[in-house]
A and B are shown apart, each in its own frame.
Chain A
Amino acid sequence: MGTAALRALPWALLLLGPLLPGQGLQANPMLASEPPQGQPAQLPGAEIGGFTPAPPASAQEIQPLNKQPANGSGEGHAKPRKAFPVLGIDYKHVRVPFEISLWILLACLMKLGFHVIPSVSNIVPESCLLIVVGLLVGGLIKGVGEKPPILNSDVFFLFLLPPIILDAGYFLPLRQFTENLGTILIFAVVGTLWNAFFLGGLMYAVCQVGGPGLNHIGLLANLLFGSIISAVDPVAVLAVFEEIHINELLHILVFGESLLNDAVTVVLYHLFEEFATFEQVTIIDIILGFLSFFVVSLGGVFVGVIYGLIAAFTSRFTSHIRVIEPLFVFLYSYMAYLSAELFHLSGIMALIASGVVMRPYVEANISHKSHTTIKYFLKMWSSVSETLIFIFLGVSTVAGHHYWNWTFVISTLLFCLIARVLGVLVLTWFINKFRIVKLTPKDQFIIAYGGLRGAIAFSLCYLLDYRHFGMRDMFLTAIITVIFFTVFVQGMTIRPLVDLLAVKKKQETKRSINEEIHTQFLDHLLTGIEDICGHYGHHHWKDKLNRFNKKYVKKCLIAGERSKEPQLIAFYHKMEMKQAIELVESGGIGKIPSAVSTVSIQNINPKTLPVERILPALSKDKEEEIRKILRNNLQKTRQRLRSYNRHTLVADPYEEAWNQMLLRRQKARQLEQKMNNYLTVPAHKLDSPTMSRARIGSDPLAYEPKADSENLPIITIDPASPQSPESVDLMNEEPKGCGGLPPSPEEDEEGLVMRVKEPSSPGTDDVFTPGTGDSPSNQRMLRCLSDPGPRPEPEEGEPFIPKGQ
């Protein structure tokens, strides 16, 4: 038998397991609890490309070989003359990681499958499809005769939930969140309390009249049930809302509510769980319960803040070991979560708090690459987690013990919906008295309709002790029904409803530097007016906090020079970088529709602005074509995001554009040749992007360098070295341009700082140098982003148009 067969052996065994019944081989136990990966035909809609079963023909060959090593390794030295086990099977050894990996792989392949078949996923939200897949997988496992795994609550709370929450917390749009904090808190706290008690009370009433099966369920049990099921689930909300692209206000309201109600849920859950063991509930207990709410929520936040600060402080010193920077972020956040859970505080709030607190400081300290890494890892983990959660929900449904009681389940469903609607209506009426931007009935409808329940409710119920809660199975059944209903019915219909009601969608506006400046200006203005009025309002305290932050906190937590960098400048740098990337990937040939306008002030001569055409005139239609290409590419990516879209990190302005540009490289290449000629204009002359924009024509302005540019540092995106004008050639840049002008080591620390242009000096590179900024280091900026390392690695330098290929 050839080596090929040998190599195929484990796979074949794996996949053909079900076909080799009763072999008595060691192989069998391995397949007992393994999800039937090897039956691709039976999993509809999925393309499990990686698991093509080995041709059955080889099974015959394999069996004899199989017997030998199995017997050989099993019996060891008992046999006098055993053959040396060329190949052994020891499944137990790797079983757990193996199965985990298989599950995760299944989840990923599912995701892949859904996107390859777009038609289905347009109608049905992904969460529904995943649950269906879970149901099928569970059914299959059951069909094989094995016991399908149930979503273990520990696994859920400790491993599956934190990535999602951290992702949400780290990228929380803070401005909207704090602006609407009052509303969110009211919905989260009062709304959840109302839901819990209303539902619990009503269910108790139902139980009393519901017949013999239900009479024994006490008030406490019902209240506990109510509190479990009343909480809006962040995972489900995220999964559904991010597909419908609703406007930011509604998104943050529902999502914020789902996050913050965790504190209430935790308190109520533990409260009622404890009370169920008591003989009698006294007033003291109730008061203690009330107090514990504050302890749980504020304690959770406190823990999160502490860890966030520590993380920020740590990141200050990581300039020499950039590689592990992301790990610090993840670990500290996870520790915050675990520490909070340790004390029965709200882990979710701790996680959110730590993410929010650490983010501004960490972002200022870490390198660009670490930032990208953090972003990608968070998105990746949360994406996988979410998929796994839904699949497991499906599997657990099949696997769990159910007890179906029509009255209970139907009334639960009904009252859930009623409670939600009533709660939202009443609370909105109350809240609108204090809001400037009132919530319209349409908004209210979406908020009510978006109250999805999810896996948290399921897991919490699963944790219930059978001894105290004999009716746990019935609860489980009811909860699963509600979850299915909300996810399927509400999840599927919310998108057409949003369209029908013409709810305002997320604006695809570009968050330009313009807006940022204006927002800041307005903040200062309003703070000033408030001070003049003597009114200590919203802006006043925000301003005080900012000042405190700037004066003390930033100094501690941000390394080096960057603590002094005004926020606006930092923002500007970010924008500039994005712009540079966009420009570079287009080969420097295009007019970039001025989403982020980088007209340099110095270059706008207030009086006259000659439009110079230095470029050899391109034919009109070629120009048009380029412009169209760029517009198409870039428009897609310029989004005022801030939704947690996991499919396509759309916040990144250049991801999609990059990919698309790869495809369009040929078209652009010819142009690029011509461009190369003029891009050899020495860097001090002007920002080449702006020049090029002027050239292509219908740019509002062309820019002319001012003579006195010594004092004004220029951010030039021109990657060509100032001394040796060369064509744009980023991929092979490394030996010449990039290697040419990195700033000296201490500049590394400064990060994004504007400096007067200084003569370049050759120096060593560091792959993780965060340096960006003025002209000597703009190549590094580009290099950082393209990450060529000491040598240009082709796959990463790919997007840049190679020279003369």
Chain B
Amino acid sequence: MGSAHSVPAEMRELADRTGFTSEQIEHLHRRFKQLSRDQLTIRKENFDSIPDLEFNPIRGKIVHAFFDKRNLRQESDGLADEINFEDFLTIMSYFRPIEMNMDEEQLDRFRKEKLKFLFHMYDSDHDGKITLQEYRNVTYGPSCPVTTEFPAPALTRCLGPDQVYEGITFDDFLKMWQGIDIETKMHVRFLNMETIAHCY
């Protein structure tokens, strides 16, 4: 989008695609410019400038998720080197809160998308399955001692008695999260974005 942003047609198209309102897009665009230091794209290093993110144990995963091509709805696989505003918005759209006027099907799709995002976060080697190792990496992060034995959660409960456990596929993942209302939990309030930090 660059400096000549807010071309209305583009905005509308973005709004349609990602589901944000134009106001929210404006806010996010401002933020994007901050992060990218007025460049057109963001690289991984740009995320280092966020001080609060340092403390986050899964920081790496989050940043990685931004560049994950699967999340960017691109056909290819692997990691992008840099993302533009559109991609930024795409990632952010995973965290939209649900709206009242969504019907069952939309809700279901919404939910699946969010879970797919999460799935991609777990599945670091992009093979479509989460192995225990990957799972452990994600859930513990660097803060937990590696030697702890930790239960693999009820992933296995989804499997039938004779199934061999090779890794969790997306369907298993869906089953795992069945009891948890992901659509209500996984959201960020984009309503009041005035509290944008200006400390860079």
Q: Which residues of A contact B (CB under 8 A)?
A: 436-438, 507, 509, 512-515, 517-522, 524-540, 543, 547, 566, 568-569, 572, 575-576, 594, 596-602, 604, 606-609, 697-701, 711-715, 754, 756
Query: Do the beta carbons of A438 and B147 come within 8 Å of each other?
Result: no
A530 vs B187: C-alpha distance in the bound complex, in angstroms? 10
Contact of A436 with B97 at beta-carbon distance under 8 Å, contacts A518-B180, A521-B139, A528-B58 already known: yes
Query: Do the beta carbons of B166 and A604 come within 8 Å of each other?
Result: no
Query: Do the beta carbons of B196 and A600 come within 8 Å of each other?
Result: no
Query: Do the beta carbons of A572 and B144 come within 8 Å of each other?
Result: no
A401 nearest CB across to chain B (Å): 53
Q: Which residues of B contact A602 (CB under 8 A)?
A: 149
Query: Do the beta carbons of B62 and A536 come within 8 Å of each other?
Result: no
Partner of A509, one of B97, B139, B179: B179
Partner of A535, one of B156, B177, B196: B196
Partner of A601, one of B34, B97, B150: B150
A606 vs B166: C-alpha distance in the bound complex, in angstroms? 5
Query: Do the beta carbons of B150 and A533 come within 8 Å of each other?
Result: no
Contact of A514 with B153 at beta-carbon distance under 8 Å, contacts A533-B92, A543-B55 already known: yes
A538 vs B97: C-alpha distance in the bound complex, in angstroms? 14
Query: Do the beta carbons of B189 and A512 come within 8 Å of each other?
Result: no
Residue of A520, A525, A526 most packed against chain B (CB within 10 A): A525
Partner of B56, one of A437, A507, A531, A606: A531
Of all chain A residues, which has the CB nearest B98? A436
Q: Which residues of B contact A (CB under 8 A)?
A: 28, 31, 34-35, 47, 50, 52-53, 55-59, 62, 66, 92, 95, 97-98, 100, 118, 121, 131-132, 136, 138-141, 143-145, 147-161, 163-167, 176-177, 179-180, 184-190, 192-193, 195-197
Q: Which residues of B contact A537 (CB under 8 A)?
A: 188-189, 195
Q: Which residues of A contact B143 (CB under 8 A)?
A: 566
Of all chain B residues, which has the CB nearest A699? B161
A–B pairs, 12, beta carbons within 8 Å: A513-B154, A514-B154, A521-B138, A529-B92, A531-B52, A532-B35, A535-B196, A599-B156, A607-B166, A609-B165, A697-B161, A700-B157
A512 vs B152: C-alpha distance in the bound complex, in angstroms? 11
Q: Which residues of B contact A712 (CB under 8 A)?
A: 147, 149
List 19 additional A-B contacts (Cβ < 8 Å) besides A526-B95, A606-B165. A514-B153, A515-B179, A518-B180, A521-B139, A525-B62, A532-B31, A532-B53, A533-B188, A533-B190, A535-B192, A535-B196, A539-B188, A569-B144, A569-B150, A599-B152, A698-B161, A701-B165, A754-B145, A754-B149
B119 nearest CB across to chain A (Å): 12
Partner of B31, one of A436, A534, A700: A534
A344 vs B196: C-alpha distance in the bound complex, in angstroms? 41
Partner of B151, one of A539, A599, A606: A599
Q: Which 7 A-B pairs have the closest CB atoms?
A: A514-B153, A528-B62, A534-B196, A531-B52, A597-B154, A700-B156, A698-B161
Query: Do the beta carbons of A700 and B159 come within 8 Å of each other?
Result: yes
Partner of B121, one of A520, A525, A547, A700: A525
Contact of A534 with B97 at beta-carbon distance under 8 Å, contacts A599-B156, A609-B164 already known: no
A327 vs B82: C-alpha distance in the bound complex, in angstroms? 60
Contact of A524 with B58 at beta-carbon distance under 8 Å, contacts A597-B151, A697-B161 already known: yes
B115 nearest CB across to chain A (Å): 11
Query: Do the beta carbons of A701 and B156 come within 8 Å of each other?
Result: yes
A518 vs B180: C-alpha distance in the bound complex, in angstroms? 9
Of all chain B residues, which has the CB nearest A610? B164
Q: Which residues of B contact A596 (CB under 8 A)?
A: 151
Of all chain B residues, which has the CB nearest A538? B189
Q: Which residues of A contact B166 (CB under 8 A)?
A: 606-607
Residue of A526, A529, A609 most packed against chain B (CB within 10 A): A529
Contact of A532 with B161 at beta-carbon distance under 8 Å, contacts A436-B98, A601-B151, A756-B147 already known: no
Query: Do the beta carbons of A522 and B186 come within 8 Å of each other?
Result: yes
Of all chain A residues, which has the CB nearest B150? A601
Query: Do the beta carbons of B189 and A600 come within 8 Å of each other?
Result: no
A532 vs B200: C-alpha distance in the bound complex, in angstroms? 13
A710 nearest CB across to chain B (Å): 10
Query: Do the beta carbons of A525 and B157 come within 8 Å of each other?
Result: no
A577 nearest CB across to chain B (Å): 13
A438 vs B58: C-alpha distance in the bound complex, in angstroms? 31
Of all chain B residues, which has the CB nearest A594? B157
Q: Which residues of B contact A711 (CB under 8 A)?
A: 147
Partner of A754, one of B57, B139, B148, B185: B148
Q: Which residues of B contact A600 (CB under 8 A)?
A: 149-152
Query: Do the beta carbons of A601 and B132 come within 8 Å of each other?
Result: yes
Q: Which residues of A contact B159 (CB under 8 A)?
A: 700-701
A732 nearest CB across to chain B (Å): 30
Query: Do the beta carbons of A528 and B31 come within 8 Å of each other?
Result: no
A278 nearest CB across to chain B (Å): 43
Residue of B55, B98, B160, B180 most packed against chain A (CB within 10 A): B55
Query: Do the beta carbons of A514 and B164 come within 8 Å of each other?
Result: no
A711 vs B132: C-alpha distance in the bound complex, in angstroms? 18
Query: Do the beta carbons of B161 and A513 come within 8 Å of each other?
Result: no
A520 vs B35: C-alpha distance in the bound complex, in angstroms? 27
Q: Which residues of B contact A700 (CB under 8 A)?
A: 156-161, 163, 165
Of all chain B residues, which has the CB nearest A540? B52
B72 nearest CB across to chain A (Å): 15
Of all chain B residues, which has the CB nearest A599? B152
A698 vs B92: C-alpha distance in the bound complex, in angstroms? 42
A514 vs B139: C-alpha distance in the bound complex, in angstroms? 10
Query: Do the beta carbons of B176 and A514 come within 8 Å of each other?
Result: yes
Contact of A604 with B138 at beta-carbon distance under 8 Å, contacts A526-B186, A531-B50, A536-B197 already known: no
Of all chain B residues, which has the CB nearest A608? B164
Q: Which residues of B contact A607 (CB under 8 A)?
A: 164, 166
Q: Which residues of B contact A530 (CB under 8 A)?
A: 188
Query: Do the beta carbons of B185 and A522 come within 8 Å of each other?
Result: yes
Q: Which residues of A contact B131 (CB under 8 A)?
A: 606
A723 vs B188: C-alpha distance in the bound complex, in angstroms? 54
Query: Do the beta carbons of B152 and A597 come within 8 Å of each other?
Result: yes
B33 nearest CB across to chain A (Å): 11
Q: Which residues of B contact A601 (CB under 8 A)?
A: 132, 136, 149-152
Query: Do the beta carbons of A572 and B150 come within 8 Å of each other?
Result: yes
